[in-house]
Each structure stands twice: as C-alpha cells, then as structure tokens.
Amino acid sequence: MEAANLIEGISGTGPLAARRRGILFVMSGPSGVGKGTIVKALLKLQPELKLSVSVTTRQPRPGEEEGVSYFFRTPEEFQRMVSAGELLEYAQFANGFYGTPRRFVEEELLRGHNVVLEIETKGAIQVKERVANGVFIFVLPPTMEELHERLVKRQSEAAEAIRQRLAIAMDELNYLPFYDYQLVNDDLEVAVKKVQAVILAEHCRVVRNLSTY
C-alpha cells in the first residue's frame, strides 16, 4: 500500500501533491553575459515563473523601472534591510550594493511556485548556502572578447569600469564548480531552451518528488 501511495503522490493527484514546494532557479554569471535577456525571454514563454526583483543602491539606467527592474534604495535604507535580516543575499559592486528580498522568495516557494533569481556570482554563492535544493545555472559568454564587446556596446560605463567588470568576470569563473548547470549564451533561443529543459528536468528529479514524504 505504501508503494501505491507513493505513485499517487508522484502523479500529482494525491493528497500530498499540494504540499510540494516550488523550486528556486538562480540564473547567474558575469555582468554583461546576457542573463537578463535570457530571463526576459524565459518569462515570456513561462509567465507562471515568479521573478524576484532585487534591491540596489545604484542609479537607474535608462529604461529601468522601479519595482520592475530593481527596487532602487538609498545606501541607508539598504543597510537597514541588511541589519533587519530582510535580504537573502547581498553584495557590493563597483557601482553599488545589490540584494535579494528574502520574504518574496520564501513565500512564493511555500506556495509551490517556481522562483527565478537573476543575480551576480557572489550573491548566488550566498543563496546556495541558505536555500537547500536551489538550482544554480551559470551563464557563460562565448568568449571573453565577446563579453568585452557586449559591455562596450551597453555604453553605460567608462572604459575603466568595463576593465574592472572583465577582471571580476574572470574571477567569477572560479565559482563555476559550485553551480549545477552551465550554458553558453551564444544563441538566445538555444540558451532559453536549455533553461526550460533544466526547469522541466528538475521537476522530474526523484529526490524532489520523494522529499514531500
């Protein structure tokens, strides 16, 4: 009978199916690699995914919207959030602090929704330590030259800032072994297809289905 219950739960029709938590997907990788573009395309195809909006102290870039791109906050307010334990992770970069509000992520996961985090490597490592069973995806540039070109094209930063970002990107590659999946962002459609495959495959993992018992 135990085995029969197992199947009932597995097939998603059993009484335990509703209790299943959502999965946290963390999209990470060097700045300028195109994480944001992949996530945007992904959300169009799978609007049921909940995107976590980060908090930052940096200035908005043209076209960025409060509460959609980021929550733009003063350094003082950011510090208060850190002290109050309201951030799941945070990190400082050349242009300011970035962090992930904890409550949104935890509530959506409890509701059984899948959450997407698009964050830098430093933050991802912190999340990995705190969220058991998160799925960590590292987005790679086709080459470092390509990454440099992308940063230059963005035209939002001075040459020195770009050089800093590239140096950081090289350093971030050392964290690759801490991630579950990797994909090269050379073809957006292929990259998005790979993320979708990861999402579907992770839902089929036995450990995730057994963990509700």
Contact residues: a copy of itself, CB under 8 A: 3-4, 6-8, 10-12, 137-138, 140-144, 170, 173-174, 176-177, 179-184, 186, 193-194, 196-202, 204-206, 209-210
The candidate with the shortest Cα–Cα distance to 172, out of 140, 205, 136, is 140
Shortest distance, position 149 Cβ to a copy of itself, whole Å: 15
Whole-angstrom CA distances from 63 to 51, 70, 132, 137, 156 are 18, 11, 35, 26, 12
- Going by the DSSP 8-state scheme, the letter that residue 61 receives in this structure is P
Comparison of 21 and 193: residue with beta carbon closer to a copy of itself: 193
- If the CB atoms of residues 119 and 199 are measured against a copy of itself, the closer one turns out to be 199
Nearest distance from C-beta of residue 186 to a copy of itself, angstroms: 7
Pairwise CA distance, residues 105 & 111, whole Å: 10
DSSP secondary structure code for residue 33 in this structure: S
The nearer residue to a copy of itself, 131 or 183, going by C-beta atoms, is: 183
Q: Minimum distance from CB of 76 to a copy of itself (Å)?
A: 37
| Nearest to a copy of itself of 82, 184 (CB atom) | 184
Q: Decide: 90 and 53 in contact? Cβ < 8 Å.
A: no
The least distance separating a copy of itself from the CB of residue 184, rounded to whole angstroms, comes to 5
Q: Residue 88: count other Cβ atoms within 10 Å of its Cβ.
A: 23
The rounded distance, in Å, linking the Cα atoms of 36 and 27 is 9
- Provide the minimum distance between the beta carbon of 45 and a copy of itself in the complex, in angstroms, as a whole number: 14
Least distance (Å) between residue 124 CB and a copy of itself: 13
Closest to 85 measured CA to CA, from 104, 67, 105, 102: 102
Residue 179: CB atoms within 10 A of its CB come to 19
- CA 150, CA 32: separation in Å to the nearest integer? 6
Residue closer to a copy of itself by CB (options 43, 184) is 184
**For a copy of itself, the closer CB: 97 or 136:** 136
